């Protein structure tokens, strides 16, 4: 007995392990630690697979048993059992099995009483209620962001004396002194030179306005990067690469948490207002997913099941794009095409509902005062002609080239940021890029305005009352007849605008490369669309003038007569925007739908499709990865791309561990190991799970058990079951054999054993293994030969093998 007591007192290791689990953060804690770095190399990605889930108590209890004295504590929940560590992948098979068991239990109970039937109905309705809440919250936050960003962007140029909370447009809304020629000037709006030196004319006034513009830009950028660095490091960037990884089953604690949502919302307004070459559309997807994740905690069905939660996050991503572009259908298709890993039909319906509610909420807020969901909504009336497919395809080629160039240069710069001292000074980097952007942007009116306003200007179809330089045409016609405006010769304003747009194009192309990836919220949709819209408008004006001066050419005379409205430059800007966005993101279907939802017309689908497909073909020819996939690979996230084929003729035995000359695979035996033996294996290895075999000699597979569940179950048994000591035998069998007298109580852990782990033979082709990992969402599978255990293949091994087959160094791209 003294020996037992001494063994029982020796609990330091087990207690420490258990405390480490209890102290790990959950999605409800959502506390981010500034300066922390993700380290994926600490543990092999061996999954928690537990196929023996019959009731919740199977997970909560830990399955402790003994042949002599025994306390049954399986009814009591054990914290940590059935959950996942940070930076680990969920087990889709187990999560779906748990949800089926939960649903089956609720259905069976619903027949027993009225209260159980009400509970069953509320459980079924909870998904739709959750979608409603996500749509309302996402739409409200998007409206708040739009209104705040518009006001703070105008704050860099002046303030409204009537009310500081009015932006420039709302300040001059009801002014009687505003003219079409100078619609932005009104007595109520004062520039900073008027406020500080009481004049708006002269070089000194220009310098004052210039200085205040740069000063405000630096202040906004400094606040944004400081808030991100101090309170929520996960709030930086676009968020879409990480959301794609999370939706594939990876766990990043705090990435979709409360602090991330609050800081991302605030800093997104600041970053957009600073004038940097970034957009709010990508981060709005992150914001919507944060809303979805937080609201999931109100519903047990989604809080306790990681797979069900990811269905909600897919719908939230659709709501995010819906409010970003005012495109509910495009948002659903974006979630399906670009970010979701598992997208059942039920999720499609709920995504549609969430996107609808979000768009309706934003429309009710009316942030731009034009009853539209986006600033650059346009309507074109002139039909396009077949010959114009040639310039549209040219824009597609430009978009593909720009997309491939941007991805390569931006990834190279981000890799330099990661591997050099540059990454240690995010605040200085943001301030330097902001200063360069503001100094170069102010002299050019097309870079001084916000990027959304620029796109709106470029998409605009010139009318008689337009005072923009882009609409400064010479009028040689009778305007009293009405109808569409004919093609007209360009005036001095158009030529001046062309030069300014050409310079703006160069600035946008260069500065966006260095902006995307900094430690502030930064979307890529709007900058990419701006590059394409500028190129498209330049080409459109060129085509318009060519058609006007050379309407008798063979390419024009069949469809463009003198005095007709043949070319719409705004349409070319829209097609160019779609081409560049497609070249960067490699979207196709969702991109076309988003763009035609922006225009409100279906007749331009063919030009958009031609440009989107051309840009994708050209970009794919120069590099297979889109920008989000490239950033996933740069960050080393364990994301198994479902779109790429694995065409190499390797076998499971070529990939499995242990390899030849490696140490033998660490296994547990079903009935011959003591608690001390198991604790020694746990302390000496970093694996997160162990195969269980009949004996080391036979190596016949029995099942698979998780390291996490082993530690928690043993510790719990020591606390609640008298007599469990280091010499107690652990059994994974159905019945423990009779023990000699005076032996310690045994520990039965069969209930935490997965009796049906996924297995393949050693001669299984790797293309089949890769497909199995993709379609089932596995974290590992065991390799056998004639029923004997040979080795294990984890998701990490599969990713390394794919990289190796692509002539890449697997260690350089994984788990950085």
Looking at residue 618, what is its pLDDT? 95
What does pTM read for this prediction? 0.83
Question: In sequence order, which residues have a C-beta less than 8 Å from that of residue 195 and are 6 or more positions away?
Answer: 158, 159
Strand blocks (E) in 51-169: 158-160
DSSP reduced 3-state for 678 = helix
Third-level CATH fold of 389-425+495-628 = Clc chloride channel (1.10.3080)
Residue 673 CA to residue 669 CA, distance in Å, equals: 6
DSSP reduced 3-state for 754 = strand
In contact, 377 and 596? CB cutoff 8 Å: no
- Matching CATH number, 652-806, of 3.30.450.40, 3.30.300.20, 3.10.20.740, 3.10.580.20: 3.10.580.20
Looking at residue 52, what is its pLDDT? 35
The yes or no reply on domain 133-365 and CATH 1.10.3080.10 is yes
Residue 778 CA to residue 655 CA, distance in Å, equals: 16
Residue 232 falls in which region: left (phi positive, over 0), alpha (psi -120 to 50) or beta = beta
Instruction: Write b or e for each residue in 57-94: b if 16 or more Cβ atoms lie within 10 A of its Cβ, otherwise e.
Output: ebbbbbbbbbbeebeebbeeebebbbbbbebbbbbbbb
Same fold, 133-365 and 389-425+495-628: yes
Phi, psi at 473, each rounded to 5°: -100, 160
Q: How many CB atoms lie within 10 A of CB 653?
A: 19
Check the CA dihedral 339-345-346-351 and report its sign.
positive
Looking at residue 174, what is its pLDDT? 64
- Strand 729-731 and strand 747-748: the pairing is parallel
Looking at residue 26, what is its pLDDT? 36
The domain spans of the chain are 133-365, 389-425+495-628, 652-806
Residue 622 CA to residue 397 CA, distance in Å, equals: 12
Residue 602's Cβ-count burial label (10 Å; 0-12, 13-18, 19+) is exposed
Q: What is the largest CA-CA distance in the chain?
A: 112
- The residues of the chain scoring below 50 in pLDDT are 1-75, 180, 479-483, 816
Question: Which among 659, 661, 650 has a CA at the least distance from the CA of 763?
Answer: 650
- Paired with 401 in beta bridges are none
Question: In sequence order, which residues have a C-beta less than 8 Å from that of residue 1 and are 6 or more positions away?
Answer: none
Tokens of 336: 């399906």
Residue 200 CA to residue 178 CA, distance in Å, equals: 17
CA-angle at 402, arms to 401 and 403, nearest 5°: 90
In contact, 231 and 32? CB cutoff 8 Å: yes
For the CA atoms of the chain, what is the radius of gyration?
31
Q: How many CB atoms lie within 10 A of CB 295?
A: 21
Instruction: Write b or e for each residue in 709-747: b if 16 or more Cβ atoms lie within 10 A of its Cβ, otherwise e.
Output: bbbbbbbbbbeebebbbbebbbbbeeebeeeeeeebbbb
The DSSP code for 338 is I
């Amino acid at each position: 007995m003294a020996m037992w007591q001494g063994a029982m007192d020796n609990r330091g290791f087990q207690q420490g392990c258990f405390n480490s689990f209890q102290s790990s953060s959950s999605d409800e804690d959502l506390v981010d630690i500034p300066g922390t770095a993700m380290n994926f190399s600490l543990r092999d990605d061996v999954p928690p697979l537990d196929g023996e889930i019959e009731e919740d108590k199977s997970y909560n209890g830990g399955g402790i048993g003994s042949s002599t004295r025994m306390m049954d504590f399986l009814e009591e929940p054990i914290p940590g059992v059935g959950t996942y560590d940070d930076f680990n992948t969920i087990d889709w098979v187990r999560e779906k099995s748990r949800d089926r068991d939960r649903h089956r239990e609720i259905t069976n109970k619903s027949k027993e009483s009225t209260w159980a039937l009400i509970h069953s109905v509320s459980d079924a309705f909870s998904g739709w209620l959750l979608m409603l809440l996500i749509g309302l919250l996402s739409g409200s936050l998007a409206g708040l962001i739009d209104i705040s960003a518009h006001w703070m962007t105008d704050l860099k140029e002046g303030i409204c004396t009537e009310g500081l909370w009015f932006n420039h447009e709302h300040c001059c809304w009801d002014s009687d002194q505003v003219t079409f020629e100078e619609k932005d000037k009104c007595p109520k709006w004062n520039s900073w030179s008027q406020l500080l030196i009481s004049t708006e004319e002269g070089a000194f006034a220009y310098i004052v306005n210039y200085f205040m513009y740069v000063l405000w830009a630096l202040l906004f950028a400094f606040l944004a990067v400081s808030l991100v660095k101090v309170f929520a490091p996960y709030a930086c960037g676009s968020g879409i690469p990480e959301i794609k990884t999370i939706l594939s089953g990876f766990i990043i604690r705090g990435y979709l948490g409360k602090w991330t949502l609050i800081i991302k919302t605030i800093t997104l307004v600041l970053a957009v207002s600073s004038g940097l070459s970034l957009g709010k559309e990508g981060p709005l997807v992150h914001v919507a997913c944060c809303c979805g994740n937080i609201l999931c905690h109100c519903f047990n069905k989604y809080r306790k099941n990681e797979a069900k939660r990811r269905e909600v996050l897919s719908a939230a991503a659709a709501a995010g794009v819906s409010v970003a572009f005012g495109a509910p259908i495009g948002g659903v298709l974006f979630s399906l095409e670009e970010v979701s890993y598992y997208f059942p039909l039920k999720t499609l319906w709920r995504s549609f509902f969430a996107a609808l509610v979000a768009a309706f909420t934003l429309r009710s807020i009316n942030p731009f005062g034009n009853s539209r969901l986006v600033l650059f909504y346009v309507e074109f009336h002139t039909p396009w002609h077949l010959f114009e497919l040639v310039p549209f395809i040219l824009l597609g080629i430009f978009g593909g080239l720009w997309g491939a160039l941007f991805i390569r240069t931006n990834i190279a710069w981000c890799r330099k940021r990661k591997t050099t001292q540059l990454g240690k000074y995010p605040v200085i980097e943001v301030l330097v890029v902001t200063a360069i952007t503001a100094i170069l942007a102010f002299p050019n009116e097309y870079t001084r305005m916000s990027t959304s306003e620029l796109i709106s200007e470029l998409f605009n179809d010139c009318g008689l009352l337009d005072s923009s330089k882009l609409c400064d045409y010479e009028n040689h016609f009778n305007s009293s007849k009405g109808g569409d405006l004919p093609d007209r010769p360009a005036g001095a304003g158009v030529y001046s605008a062309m030069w300014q747009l050409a310079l703006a194009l160069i600035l946008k192309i260069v500065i966006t490369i260095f902006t995307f990836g900094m430690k502030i919220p930064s979307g890529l949709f709007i900058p990419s669309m701006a590059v394409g819209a500028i190129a498209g408008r330049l080409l459109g004006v060129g085509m318009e003038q060519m058609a006007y001066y050379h309407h008798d050419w063979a390419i024009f005379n069949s469809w463009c007569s003198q005095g007709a409205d043949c070319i719409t430059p705004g349409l070319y800007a829209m097609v160019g925007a779609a081409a560049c966005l497609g070249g960067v993101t490699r979207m196709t279907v969702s991109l076309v739908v988003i763009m035609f939802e922006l225009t409100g017309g279906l007749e331009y689908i063919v030009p958009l499709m031609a440009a989107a497909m051309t840009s994708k073909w050209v970009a794919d020819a120069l590099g297979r990865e889109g920008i989000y996939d490239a950033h996933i690979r740069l960050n080393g996230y364990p994301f198994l791309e479902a779109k790429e084929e694995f065409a190499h003729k390797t076998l499971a035995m070529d990939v499995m561990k242990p390899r030849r000359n490696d140490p033998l695979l660490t296994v547990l035996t079903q009935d011959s190991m003591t608690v001390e033996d198991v604790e020694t294996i746990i302390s000496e290895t970093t694996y997160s799970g162990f195969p269980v075999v009949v004996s080391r000699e036979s190596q016949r597979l029995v099942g698979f058990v998780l390291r996490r569940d082993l530690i928690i179950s043993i510790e719990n048994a020591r606390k609640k079951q008298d007599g469990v000591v280091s010499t107690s035998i652990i059994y994974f069998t159905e019945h423990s054999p009779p023990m000699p007298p005076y032996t310690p109580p045994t520990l039965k852990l069969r209930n935490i054993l997965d009796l049906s782990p996924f297995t393949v033979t050693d001669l299984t082709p790797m293309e089949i293994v890769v497909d199995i990992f993709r379609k089932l969402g596995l974290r590992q599978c065991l390799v056998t030969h004639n029923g004997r255990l040979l080795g294990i293949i984890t998701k990490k091994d599969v990713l390394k093998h794919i990289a190796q087959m692509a002539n890449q160094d697997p260690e350089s791209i994984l788990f950085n």
